[in-house]
Amino acid sequence: MHFSILALPALLSGLSASAQTITGQYDCLPAGGYTLCQNLWGKASGVGSQNSTLRTATTESVSWVTSYTWANGPNQVKSYANVISNAAKGVQLQNVASAPTSWDWTYASQSVGIRADVSYDIWFGKASSGSPATSASSYEIMIWLSGLGGIQPVGSQITTGTVVANHTWNLWKGPNANWEVFSFVSAAGDLNSFDVDLNDFFSKYKPRSDVYEPIS
């Protein structure tokens, strides 16, 4: 099984002199070992705008800010600004000994009634090629570091108090098109400084038809 990783919205403050900004619905920008993308796939469900600005990027790290203003359609997703790991796509899961990650983020400002999440989005498929969220996808694992305004993942909650990578999660499961989605939602509120080995989510647990359970 192969996988690819997206890191979804982070709102940060402070820009470098060489900052680059993208504004288009599906604009993407090379960012060192990553790719920064707007992904306003649900913009038609609301009224507003979004832009994403690359601050700094190397082969191992990236820093960016996404700013947005939306109205209407409060229960519809408007966008998922994200950075994609260029190195992760097509990697065989059985060859992943570790997948360390560190993410420091914050909401620079919040409007009353904000509805948003900050999460990792990890896609698994049987083929080494293909794109996430297509017929090539078999499973999707989301790791929610924040969820505001009462929003919920796809499906329904199947367990509470699941400990993975030294954090406690409520686990959700549900179908999305032709793949299953498993969402780990932080049970402790916002995790603004997240430093873990993602392989803990891969090696200790695995998706099955009805549950996401420990490997014995």
pLDDT at position 18 is 67
pLDDT at position 213 is 47
- Asked if residue 171 has pLDDT above 70, the reply is yes
The residues, any chain, with a CB within 8 Å of residue 53's CB and separated by 6 or more, are 15, 19, 20, 21, 22, 64, 65, 66, 67
pLDDT at position 194 is 98
When pLDDT is averaged across residues 206-215 and rounded to a whole number, the result is: 48
Whole-model pTM: value is 0.88
Per-residue pLDDT tens over the stretch 95-148: 888 999 999 999 998 888 899 999 999 988 877 777 777 777 888 899 999 999
Residue spans of the domains in the chain: they are 2-211
Per-residue pLDDT tens over the stretch 21-70: 999 999 999 999 999 999 999 999 999 999 999 999 999 999 999 999 99
What's the CATH number for 2-211?
A: 2.60.120.180
Closest among 83, 16, 27 to 55, alpha carbons compared: 16
CA of residue 139 relative to chain centroid, distance: 14
